Structure 1
Amino acid sequence: MPSVRPGAPGPSPASPATVAAVVADVSATGGYFGLDLGPVLREPGWRPLTDLVADPGTVEAQVADMAGRLGTGETRVAASILFQGLAARFWSPPLGAAIAHGLLVDLDPRQVHWRPVAGGPLPLRAAHLEGWEVRDPARIAGPLYRTVVTGLLEPLAGTVRRIVPTAPGLLWGNAASALVGTLLELGRHHPRLAAEAVAVGRELLDTGLLRGTGELAEPAPGRPLFTRRSCCLFYRLPDGGMCGDCVLADPGVRRERWARAARKSGR
């Protein structure tokens, strides 16, 4: 069970039916939010998520596959883009369930399975998924951090760095960028949740390894704009360029982005 503040009432276990309903609703958001519930042993190709985050051979194969798809010989660039994509994948279902439904889902890498695909979001499936109902939004960020960062991204970052020399700041900047991107997607699909999503994001960005990865501005309510303090190396791809939150972007371009967001809100 996720830990909570001392003296605070703990989260209550959710029924399997509640977990299934929430996961189905969040998955309908599409793309990176999808999470299947069902048996994995009867279908070929499914592997425990522990392989993807902690097995050097598996991660090395995924980096090589990413390099081929991106058309780059720089494994460091491929490893960075792979990590950021997986971070977005790991953030999306738990953030969606927590912010939209007050449900904490446990993406235990021993229980959740994945299988390789040629492109698009990585398929995720769990035969059994536990969840806890939390009605106080102020108590969501801590368990989310432990589920995604401690449980998945820390072991993945360690494995990536054993394969490819990669600066820790780059990887945690990627994790922060993926977090903000997920919050933006949630806000687009559920405008009424945008403000709460930004509040949870601010708390997460001030926690542990995400602290100091960048600055989160809010030129209009519920419209976060993030500027990271590291570069994901996307600009080094053959058809690459600068990302919207890139530390290398011209300050004038960044100010214009803020102004556009403010104008859209009528401010």
Structure 2
Amino acid sequence: MDPEAELDPRPDPLLGALAALGGFFVLRTAVDLACEPPAGLPTLADVYDGTVSRGRGDCVTFRVRKVARSLGTRETRTAASVAHLGLAARLWSVALGCAAVYGRVPDLDPGRLRWDPDASAPDDLWLAGVRPLPGDAETVAAVVLDAHLAPLAALLRDRYRLASGLLWGNAASALTGAARELDRWAHAHGRPDVAARAGALTRRLLAHPPLTGTGTLTGTAFRRRSCCLYYRAPGGGLCGDCCLTRAPSPKPRAPGTR
């Protein structure tokens, strides 16, 4: 099937058009009976409040430990940053993808959006019903920045001592990464309207506090002013939008430390 044919200008209850854009853009919904969420998945509202647990720890700790094992690192700050990037990328991709393709954005109320902390990347999300909202930048900012990324950043700052600049740099990187994927898909499938909407929304969102000043956007290329710490993972290296030009040399460990 031609992926372009899958796109529909109307927000459908399954948001099926987003599947053509890649895994980060997929949003499972309660009416998609073929994709029922596993029993017991927490809502993101409960996750941000720290009121639910999985295994021996809460869901955020569980996810960070899972990412740490995947990266092969013992540094929880690095794993927490990478986990944050992954969830931010999913939220931005869904919202920006819907706004660019449909001209509307679903209400991603954290109390109605379920998340699987044990899933592989990209993070699995399920939404209890689709309530379309306007697809303007202010609404997208309210849906993603205010409702999700602000409480998530507060939680990670408190628990893992991640700097605000790093977290909002992650948010900006996730946003511009989603925009690049949309732009790439749109030009490959003859949808300049999608590319134009995605680009305009991204520029407006980057001017929205607290993303203001997180980096410089040139076309679809972004250079952030902070580092996500991925280079500290074994074999991690630098991301394409990193503020660093080369990874810092590891600091020598003091005798007797691990």
The interval holding the TM-score normalised by the smaller chain is 0.7 to 0.9
TM-score w.r.t. length of structure 2: 0.81
Q: In the alignment, is the contact (CA less than 8 A) between 1:53 and 1:153 conserved in 2? A: no
Whole-Å separation in 2 of the counterparts to 1:174 and 1:92: 14
Partner of 1:101: 102
Q: Which residue in the other structure is 1:75 paired with? A: 76
SS of 1:28's equivalent? helix
* 1:189 CA displacement: 1.4
**Aligned partners of 1:43 and 1:119: how far apart in 2?**
14
Structure 2 residue 37 is matched with structure 1 residue 33: no
Match for residue 53 of structure 1 among 33, 37, 48: 48
2:114 alignment partner, SS class: strand
Relative distance call for 1:53 and 1:185 in structure 2 (3 A) is farther
Equivalent in the alignment of 1:23 = 15
**1:246/1:37 CA distance change after superposition, 3 Å:** same
Bigger drift between 57-66 and 86-95 goes to: 57-66
- Could you tell me how far apart the structure 2 residues matched to 1:127 and 1:199 are? 29
1:145 is paired with a residue whose SS is: helix
Deviation at 1:133, TM superposition (A): 4.7
Q: 2:145 aligns with which of 125, 146, 149?
A: 149
Using the size of structure 1 for normalisation, the TM-score is 0.78
Q: Give 1:194-209 correspondences, 5 Å limit.
A: 194-209=195-210
Contact 1:22 1:101 in 2 (8 A): no
User: Structure 2: which amino acid aligns with 1:47?
Assistant: P
CA–CA separation in structure 1 for the residues paired with 2:27 and 2:226: 30
Q: Secondary structure at the match of 1:216?
A: strand
* SS of structure 1 residue aligned to 2:15: helix
What aligned pairs does 1:1-267 form with structure 2 within 5 A after superposition? 18-20=10-12, 23-38=15-30, 43-55=38-50, 57-133=58-134, 140-191=136-187, 192=192, 193-218=194-219, 224-249=220-245
- Structure (1/2) with the larger helix percentage: 1
Q: Deviations over 1:94-117 (max 9, x none)?
A: 111111110121100101112233
SS at match of 2:221: strand
Q: Is the 8 A contact 1:186 1:194 kept in 2?
A: yes
Rounded to whole Å, the distance in 1 between the matches of 2:216 and 2:144 is 21
Give ranges in structure 2 of 5+ residues lacking alignment.
1-9, 52-57, 247-258
The amino acid across from 2:228 in the alignment is C
1:43 deviates by 4.0
Residue-by-residue CA offset, 1:167-224 (whole Å, 9 max, x unaligned): 1000000000000000001111112122332221111001010000000012xxxxx1
Residue 250 of structure 2: aligned partner: none
CA contact (8 A) 1:72 1:238 kept: yes
Alignment partners' CA distance in 2, 1:61 and 1:163: 13
Number of residue pairs the alignment of both structures matches:
223
Residue 13 (structure 1) aligns with: none
> Distance in 2 between the 1:52 and 1:32 partners?
20
Gap change, CA 1:20 and 1:164, over 3 Å in 2: same
Q: State the SS of the aligned residue for 2:217.
A: strand
| Alignment gaps of 5+ in structure 1 | 1-17, 135-139, 219-223, 251-267
